[in-house]
Structure 1
């Protein structure tokens, strides 16, 4: 059995090494167009910033080391230029010599990933993407050649763009970020992305949202709104498009997203040709429809799965949740599943929960605040998505929630998860448990809540906004129109509350829940402001970016 794998990073190398572990007799040839195989592309921005100082640390394997350990025939600098699926032959061009040869295969795996979607014509300003070792080398040279003080423009406020911004700032470079969308990190909802934007600006980054680069002229990037940005160089992180050229050459079907269509076993529509990685469609875990999810974890996992299938095992890929995480200076942002924006666009009913717990017990030094958002199906209590922004502890909480989604654990059942606890790692009521408590209270009707963006309408309709924080907290900052009665005094001051509906709020929602229980048991029509003053503040900062529900078809 001879397997030819096109692409020697993430998915391709995972397929090659797994297949060798399963079949010692297989002939495995890996053809990689670039000069490196099996390098750590997710670490590239951190070499730019000097966090990873040793460039060699990014080069995980070489053709020689892969041959020694796995008996793989890895050929870098070899580009596949043609595929004959009927006779199972690929045409290969050796870039260094210009020689062309034909390579037969029994099974062919396309692992050619995706290419950068360029957003700027760099004529007049050197422009690089940030996807390969060569990109990192070129950006390093541009930094070294730039005059002091150096300046850079980063196009794209997604995961790679933000990593690029952080690491350029670490190098002392004045950085401007241009983001097409209304806010950075578009997979997050606007009130969750607001702290990330604030952190960028606090670090001196010039953030331009709802902006695009129209052209480059005279050493300046001209934006569509007429603004101009002068920069010594540009890092283009505007996104990626799937590499489908070889799939087309083979006659393989493309899916509705433009990526390569595969079944749950990674097989294309052409016999004996499989595909994995960023260029391949995945099945969305919530909708069951095709989607493009460009994550290294999925590429590696699907490469392994394809090897199992080639080796004759009954292996199938699980649907994708799109779980992701990024660090931006002192903040960490993570998500899994769908955002509220996606749910609104799909007109899918959902319940929203905001909490603001500490990363671990507050009496133990070093606790950091987190902002958590959980999206829940109100009919089934299923978890539809989650977002977390904070510091330490964000990673393990998003992983717990992703596992809960994959395992079908409901939102209310989060309250009953038994999670590891010591004061330096968490709290006796872990933040994940706390989400479950809120979800269960809402599901059972123990409490009712409204969202920050629903507050104005409630007050316009006559609701009284009752701030149950301390007088000192109220004086330091309050929602306009609110009346302050501390929760500790509430039972003795019920007569001061006007008749009619009441909205209670505190800092993060916890005291508000207590106040709502006091009032509801005394006959008041009361709801709690979800996430309290902190969520309202973040929401107000992003109000003009709030997605609107899609209109139903006529």
Structure 2
């Protein structure tokens, strides 16, 4: 095989998986990962459980380290390194070492963008006050963990999967939790009929759910607590606020390079994760992909799809840049399959809910709700399942 230089911007799920798969497919390729943070691959989904002391050791969150990539795969990892720009014409990157402040230029034959997503911060007065957090990285979880020493109350804005996992783990650490949701149900990915069971379960475990609640501002009090002001006129006093209203793709690098972006702000890719530039691929939270059911473009910030995209991009790169073959592995889109445990209740979803079907102008569908038991009724410990 020809000696090719493949650069990957960003690790975590998609980028790290792509790198490992590239090495398996191409022993002679030079592979380098540039990661702006200090950790090349860690378990985002485990962060709430680190806060809740379910995961006690921070090292358990590390999926892979630079040393592992070097020793097992002969892949170079540059952490604390920011990629500033892409020169598509000359196939180079401008890279800055954040420790030294030194810039350098790196050449590539193929480039993979796995720059991920960042937390959405609402434009609300007081949002930058101390005690208001968003959870995306290990340092974020470390900061929240430290704040728990003086935390008796917390408000969680947003009740998707991350918000509910945060609520549960804070509650189990002795914190009184109030969750705020702007819509009329928890877990927007669920149909209303299913979400009602989740809301009831949360309240049974001491979580106060406030639906149709909109925050107008935050203010800091003289005793360092926070007041959350709602548009209804209500006020909630708390020591901490967790912002969990969603994420947005970190596509600034791609935009500066002139790559095509989609309607949701993610990088537009084809069925082999190739961008509008034939030598650049993109994977993970930063891309827009087709929904398997509606065929509409969407963001899907989940680790499972990111891993699959990383493997597919690696195969396509090797087939097009190294062997000259044509890739025959089209990406068929996402179903958004997720599973979450909340106070012992397992909540799972796949596909789209009724609201999404209506938004996509689907008219021919049926709704069926079943409530069987997980065992026959006479079996000890039998519980209902809501389907």
Same fold, TM-score > 0.5, yes or no: yes
Could you tell me how far apart the structure 1 residues matched to 2:99 and 2:179 are?
A: 37
Could you tell me how far apart the structure 1 residues matched to 2:78 and 2:331 are?
A: 28
Question: What do the CA deviations read for 1:6-27 (whole angstroms, capped 9, x no partner)?
Answer: 0011000000000001111110
TM-score (normalizing by structure 1): 0.65
The residue number in structure 1 matching 2:178 is 176
How do 1:88-127 residues align onto structure 2 when only pairs under 5 Å count?
88-119=91-122, 120=124, 121-127=126-132
Could you tell me how far apart the structure 1 residues matched to 2:362 and 2:216 are?
A: 34
Answer whether contact 1:2 1:105 (CA < 8 A) is retained. Answer: yes
Could you tell me how far apart the structure 2 residues matched to 1:303 and 1:255 are?
A: 19
Question: What do the CA deviations read for 1:489-545 (whole angstroms, capped 9, x no partner)?
Answer: xxxxxxxxxxxxxxxxxxxxxxxxxxxxxxxxxxxxxxxxxxxxxxxxxxxxxxxxx
Task: Say yes or no: does 1:34 pair with 2:37.
Answer: yes
The residue number in structure 2 matching 1:382 is none
How many Å apart are 1:51 and its aligned residue? Answer: 1.1
Could you tell me how far apart the structure 2 residues matched to 1:254 and 1:193 are?
A: 33
Answer whether contact 2:179 2:210 (CA < 8 A) is retained. Answer: yes
Answer whether contact 1:343 1:349 (CA < 8 A) is retained. Answer: no
Answer whether contact 1:125 1:234 (CA < 8 A) is retained. Answer: no
**Which residue among 358, 368, 372 is the counterpart of 1:344?**
358
Answer whether contact 2:269 2:288 (CA < 8 A) is retained. Answer: yes
Could you tell me how far apart the structure 2 residues matched to 1:123 and 1:319 are?
A: 37
**What SS class does the counterpart of residue 47 from structure 1 fall into?**
helix
The residue number in structure 2 matching 1:541 is none
The residue number in structure 2 matching 1:197 is 199
Could you tell me how far apart the structure 1 residues matched to 2:363 and 2:80 are?
A: 48
How many Å apart are 1:125 and its aligned residue? Answer: 4.0
**What SS class does the counterpart of residue 311 from structure 1 fall into?**
helix
Could you tell me how far apart the structure 1 residues matched to 2:43 and 2:219 are?
A: 35
TM-score (normalizing by structure 2): 0.93
The residue number in structure 2 matching 1:518 is none
Task: Say yes or no: does 1:65 pair with 2:68.
Answer: yes
The residue number in structure 2 matching 1:323 is 337
How many Å apart are 1:71 and its aligned residue? Answer: 0.5
**What SS class does the counterpart of residue 369 from structure 2 fall into?**
strand
How many Å apart are 1:352 and its aligned residue? Answer: 1.1
How do 1:99-498 residues align onto structure 2 when only pairs under 5 Å count?
99-119=102-122, 120=124, 121-144=126-149, 146=150, 150-218=152-220, 219-312=226-319, 313-345=327-359, 346-372=361-387
Answer whether contact 1:2 1:26 (CA < 8 A) is retained. Answer: yes
Task: Say yes or no: does 1:48 pair with 2:54.
Answer: no
- List gaps (5 residues or longer) in structure 1: 373-554
Answer whether contact 1:123 1:217 (CA < 8 A) is retained. Answer: no
How many Å apart are 1:250 and its aligned residue? Answer: 1.5
Q: Which has the higher contact order (CA 8 A, sep 6+)?
A: 2
Structure 1 residues 125 and 151, CA, compared in 2 at 3 Å: closer, same or farther?
farther
**What SS class does the counterpart of residue 42 from structure 2 fall into?**
coil
Answer whether contact 1:250 1:270 (CA < 8 A) is retained. Answer: no
Aligned pair count reads 369
Could you tell me how far apart the structure 2 residues matched to 1:5 and 1:252 are?
A: 16
The residue number in structure 1 matching 2:78 is 75
Answer whether contact 2:294 2:357 (CA < 8 A) is retained. Answer: no
Could you tell me how far apart the structure 1 residues matched to 2:294 and 2:128 are?
A: 42
Could you tell me how far apart the structure 2 residues matched to 1:49 and 1:206 are?
A: 18
Answer whether contact 1:154 1:165 (CA < 8 A) is retained. Answer: yes
Answer whether contact 1:153 1:235 (CA < 8 A) is retained. Answer: yes
Could you tell me how far apart the structure 1 residues matched to 2:257 and 2:316 are?
A: 20
Answer whether contact 1:125 1:232 (CA < 8 A) is retained. Answer: no
**What SS class does the counterpart of residue 371 from structure 1 fall into?**
coil
Could you tell me how far apart the structure 1 residues matched to 2:231 and 2:100 are?
A: 44
Question: What do the CA deviations read for 1:6-62 (whole angstroms, capped 9, x no partner)?
Answer: 001100000000000111111000000001011111111111111111211111221
How many Å apart are 1:348 and its aligned residue? Answer: 2.0
The residue number in structure 1 matching 2:322 is none
Larger Rg computed on CA atoms = 1
Could you tell me how far apart the structure 2 residues matched to 1:335 and 1:280 are?
A: 22
RMSD: 1.3
Task: Say yes or no: does 1:84 pair with 2:87.
Answer: yes
Could you tell me how far apart the structure 2 residues matched to 1:53 and 1:348 are?
A: 49
Answer whether contact 1:305 1:315 (CA < 8 A) is retained. Answer: yes
**What SS class does the counterpart of residue 34 from structure 1 fall into?**
coil
Could you tell me how far apart the structure 2 residues matched to 1:310 and 1:226 are?
A: 56
Could you tell me how far apart the structure 2 residues matched to 1:18 and 1:360 are?
A: 42
How many Å apart are 1:93 and its aligned residue? Answer: 0.9
- List gaps (5 residues or longer) in structure 2: 221-225, 320-326
Answer whether contact 1:6 1:110 (CA < 8 A) is retained. Answer: yes
